[in-house]
Chain A
Amino acid sequence: MARRQKTLREVFTAGFFEQNPTFVQFLGMCPTLAVTGSVESALGMGAGVAFVLVLSNLFISLIRNFVPNEVRIPIYIVVIASLVTILEMLMNAYLPDLAAQLGTFLSLIVVNCLILGRAEAFASKNGPVKSMADGLGMAIGFTGGIVLIAFFRELLGSGSITVWGDLAVQLIPETYQISILVAPAGAFLVFGILVAQVNKLKFKKEEQQEEVA
């Protein structure tokens, strides 16, 4: 029996929860832990990943039928690296503060396994539209994941949420802030707690589905 093709909507939304790169697939852990000190940084990283992921999926999908199997990975890397370089130049030109904030992790998008993973797992086997939908959906899921982590870290760790630039909203007095959450160790703590919650929801949903069946 032929496997049913996923609809465009299913492809787009898969990354939101069911195959969320951050909490389910555990892809792109390096920026997940490193740039989630503030919501602003997480959003910036998410946007950058989205830019690269959507376009890399597009280009790889377009050339998938011409790429010899033996050199597909190097070619994917060339495409991704080129897109990251372009992203860096654009951000340095138009969003220099954000580029400075993301620092070296902007360059490290090249080695974000989410991007190479989606290129290999999806874009190399699907058409451009679906590939872009997959890239965008995964990017949204990735961004949502790291923004969620950043939200808790920044809110509970520093007591405020930075909306943009110097605009920040102070929500928790200093006495009640959990300063460790701002530190690198805090990223692991928050990530671990959120993964547990996601799995709890996932198992609960599966149990409900089994009961229905």
Chain B
Amino acid sequence: MKKGIGIVFMLTLVVVVASLGVFFVEDITTPIIEDRQIKEVQEAVSEVFPEIVGTTWTVEDYTGELSLPITGAKTIVDGETLQGIVYTVSFQGFANTFTYVVGVNRAGEVTGYKTLKNNETASSAGDFNESETFAAINGALLSAAGSSFDGVSGATYTSDYWRTSLDQVAEWHSDAELFDEIPQIDVDQALIRSKLADETLVLTELSAANIEKLDSSSIDYAYEATGDSGDYVVYIEEYSAYEAGTKVLLVVNDDHETVLFEVLASSDTPDWGGKLLTETDRWTQLEDQSLNFLINGAFDGLGGATTTYSTWQDAMYRISAFHQEVYQGIITYSMDTLVPEYQSQLSPVTLGGMTTWTIASDAGIDLTTGNDGSGLKVSWDNPGVNYESITIEQGGFNFEAGKLYSINVVAHSENEKDIWVSLNDGTEDLVLTKLALEALNEDLSENTYSISYNPSEDVNNITLSFGLGKTVAKEEDGNATIVEVTIVELVGEYNVPDQATNQVINSKLETTRVIEVTNQKYKNINISNVFDIVNDKGEVEGTIYYGYTFGTYIDGPTMINFMLGIDKDGNYTGFRFLGTTDPHLNPSEIYTADYEKFLSPGYFAEEIEGLAITSVIDLANYDGLELQLANIEGAINEIGRYHVEDYTKRFLENIDTDELKLALSGSNSFVSIYNDFDAVDHIVNVYEAYDATNTLVGYVYAGEYEGNNSDILFTLGVNLTGVVTNLNVYSGSESWTGAGKSTNFLDSDLLDAFDGLDVTLFVSNYTPAANPTKGGVSTDVDAISGVSTTTGGDGVHFGLIDSVYTLLNFHEENSVGGAE
């Protein structure tokens, strides 16, 4: 017992004495350690927030609540403005507490970093004490700084803990919202002062009008800057290059020369486009260059990084064009501007205008009822129906699904009659409604009444009819007058008409439009694209061709691109240059890329405009441009020929369903898919064939070729396994028996020879003729002597065998239905 007490006593005594000793030393050392740490933090503030040096800014303790790992915060204050904050951060490293300070400015960027306490193993974690280790995070956004840190090799855990701690600081910083939002101009002013080394520079916003132009040029920021070093215009543009997030700075002096270009940010491939773009030395070529240099985009050093280069060129083009227009009065139109303007100019009708279809003149047509035999008679022998159709009707309207149409009717009625309108597809009324409600017990006053129609599916060949209705109270004769009817498609912003009151619609109308139909056209070496001008009824009012031809050959071919308009009567509406790489044509007086020059007549007007496309264009000569003008003449004449001979082939010929069915047994209905492909000679149409259950069973081609005595028309079926099902020639009067054959052409064995052919094998076994106007030779179907013009396949004449080959080769080449 005594021994036990002695043990306890001794242990207690030793512990107490030891504790007192530790307490005594701690009492002495703690203030020293704290003072030193405070001093270290204060010294570190200057180190990690160097902007404070040389200013009157003060450092104050942040008194708000902090959360770990932030153990302290010093605010840097300029008067009442918070300029920055320095966080002291402590976290548990691999073995010991790790402490650092990190500075953050108003923009949320890291201004500096310093490790204060790192008791981890020096051999592995010593690099945490080196400022070079954290070079990557300086200037980075605090929120992204953690991911910018590569870590310290050999100190993986501590590196991870470090990143986590900084992310936590960033999260706290973001949540705390310590800083007022800095006006963008202040941020940019600080940037420009730094870049131009002129602290006196003051940035001002552009005028409101110019800001509007800036927006239309899709340029993010532009300022006018004035300072001791001069006057400038500063442009900052963010755009997507190969990757999103490229940000460039361009500064132009008052001589309109570039004085500074710098890539402020780029996320493009670091070893390729990103490197090419961000290397400062690369851009010395821009110094003191005029903005034309930028617009022309003749730069060295970005070859290969195609997207990086082209997007950069585009950004420079937009900035340069804006600057030249606003500050130099030089307007450079982009294709985005020129194309719609030229389309409008070359269109024979006003684009976007309302096309009016008048079914009644101003004098009106009386929808008169009565029993005298005159006018339009309405009988009342069906009391269950409160309207009667009258003979004023117009058919052939096509309405597209999802679009909103307005049927506007100028009309009036007498004797308390109301007017009904219907849209009928031949089997039922899709729309049947009264024109106005106020006619219930009174005359319908002359006004414009509108009803809207919004079909859920395409409907074609619709008949518009009007009827005169009786009122409940007055079942006696009356009359009405339809003065004018218009049907318009409503696009853009519009007010949906109130069906209950039939308010007149106040709409933005755009019914005549440009539709690209390139894919429906036969290819032509001078034509890149074809656009039709189509009114709201689907009628083609004209056509605009995008053409091209060669210029002079200088170290390679040069190109001349243009637009050519043709009206529905076959007359040229005009010619416009779209661009050229020809170095002689470009600066000449006959070349222009200014659509405003065409607002008054004269530009090629006498030589092209109004001439029939069958005319041979002969442009006036200009010295030094003979070759270019000759090529342009040739291209225009070729497009004129094309328009006469090939353009019309785009209008698909609908083949009688019975002839289609004969080509593919079991087929029941057909859907044309030819418009999905480029048209090919000898192919009239291409159909998907469906059986009675609406299941795809194959494809039917409609073909044609010129036989010996007639045009041969035929249909050809191909099933889903790529086998020809039947060749059905349904038109053709060949002198088959006259050529000594026992049966006529339409009953000949030749036609049966195609049945069951494997499409792939037939195509591969066919040898096309070297001369494309001649037929080739097939080893699957033999040509028949004596009627070679009809049959073809002999390598000399183009006949049935060659025409079938054309169809089946189309099937293979275009992978119709997945054909390989």
Contacts and interface: CB of A to CB of B under 8 A. Distances in A.
A165 interface: no
A103 interface: yes
A158 to B, nearest CB: 12
Given A79-B18, A82-B18, A93-B33, A68 B121 contact: no
A41 B118 CA distance: 15
Nearest to B118: A100
B117 A100 contact: yes
A86 B118 contact: no
Contacts of B29: 89-90, 92-94
Interface in B763-818: none
B182 to A, nearest CB: 38
Contact of B119 (A41, A85, A104): A104
Contacts of A180: none
Given A100-B118, A100-B119, A183-B123, A68 B10 contact: yes
Nearest to B21: A82
Interface residues of B, number: 28
B96 interface: yes
Interface string B115-131: 00111111100000000
B7 A70 contact: yes
Interface string B1-31: 0010011001100110011011001101110
Contacts of B117: 100
Interface in A106-147: none
B536 to A, nearest CB: 83
B10 A67 contact: yes
A78 B14 contact: yes
Contacts of A90: 25, 29
B32 interface: yes
Contacts of A37: 122-123
A78 B7 contact: no
A182 B117 CA distance: 23
Interface in A30-80: 34, 37, 41, 63, 66-68, 70-71, 74-75, 78-79
B25 to A, nearest CB: 4
A78 B95 contact: no
B36 interface: yes
Interface string B95-126: 11000000000000000000001111111000
A68 B5 CA distance: 11
B120 A103 contact: yes
A93 B25 CA distance: 10
Contact of A92 (B6, B10, B18, B33): B33
Contacts of B95: 103-104
A48 to B, nearest CB: 14
Contacts of A74: 11
A44 to B, nearest CB: 12
Given A71-B11, A86-B25, A78 B18 contact: yes
A179 interface: no
B155 to A, nearest CB: 12
A85 B30 CA distance: 13
B32 A75 contact: no
Interface residues on chain A, size class: 20 to 34
Given A68-B3, A75-B14, A96-B36, A82 B22 contact: yes
A204 B460 CA distance: 117
Nearest to A80: B18
A103 B7 contact: no
Contact of B22 (A34, A41, A85): A85
A88 to B, nearest CB: 9
B271 to A, nearest CB: 30
Contacts of B11: 71, 74-75, 78
Nearest to A96: B36
A205 B3 CA distance: 49
A57 to B, nearest CB: 15
Contacts of A101: 122
Nearest to B117: A100
Contacts of B14: 63, 75, 78-79
A41 B117 CA distance: 17
Contacts of B6: 68
Nearest to A84: B22
A184 interface: yes
Contact of B96 (A71, A86, A96, A104): A104
Nearest to A37: B123
Contacts of A67: 10
Nearest to A104: B95
Contacts of A41: 122
Contacts of B26: 89
Interface in A167-213: 182-184
B7 A71 contact: yes
A28 B29 CA distance: 28
B407 to A, nearest CB: 88
B573 to A, nearest CB: 81
Nearest to A100: B119
Interface in A18-37: 34, 37
Nearest to B35: A93
A68 B18 contact: no
A15 to B, nearest CB: 26
A137 B28 CA distance: 29
A104 B22 contact: no
Contacts of A100: 117-119
A154 B32 CA distance: 33
B32 A103 contact: no
Given A75-B14, A103-B122, A89 B25 contact: yes
Nearest to A105: B121
A78 B26 CA distance: 17
A86 B32 CA distance: 14
A97 B240 CA distance: 50
Given A82-B18, A89-B25, A104 B121 contact: yes
A93 B32 contact: yes
Contacts of B32: 93-94
A184 B7 contact: no
A94 B22 CA distance: 16
Nearest to B27: A89
A105 to B, nearest CB: 9
Given A92-B29, A101-B122, A71 B10 contact: yes
A136 to B, nearest CB: 20
Contacts of B18: 78-79, 81-82
Given A86-B25, A93-B29, A75 B121 contact: no
A26 B32 CA distance: 37
Contacts of B119: 99-100, 103-104
Interface in B730-783: none
Contacts of A68: 3, 6-7, 10
Contacts of A63: 10, 14
A66 B36 contact: no
A184 B122 CA distance: 11
Interface centre among B96, B120, B123 (most CB of A within 10 A): B123
A103 B96 contact: yes
Contacts of A71: 7, 10-11
Contacts of A99: 119
Contacts of B96: 103-104
A96 to B, nearest CB: 6
A157 B325 CA distance: 68
A156 B783 CA distance: 96
Ranked nearest first, the 7 interchain pairs of A and B with the lowest CB-CB distance are A82-B18, A93-B29, A103-B119, A93-B32, A89-B29, A86-B25, A68-B7
17 contacts: A37-B122, A37-B123, A63-B10, A67-B10, A82-B19, A82-B22, A85-B25, A86-B22, A89-B22, A93-B28, A93-B36, A96-B36, A100-B117, A103-B96, A103-B122, A104-B96, A104-B119
Interface of A: 34, 37, 41, 63, 66-68, 70-71, 74-75, 78-79, 81-82, 85-86, 89-90, 92-94, 96, 99-101, 103-104, 182-184
Given A37-B122, A71-B10, A94-B29, 8 more contacts: A63-B14, A68-B10, A74-B11, A75-B14, A82-B19, A86-B22, A92-B29, A103-B120
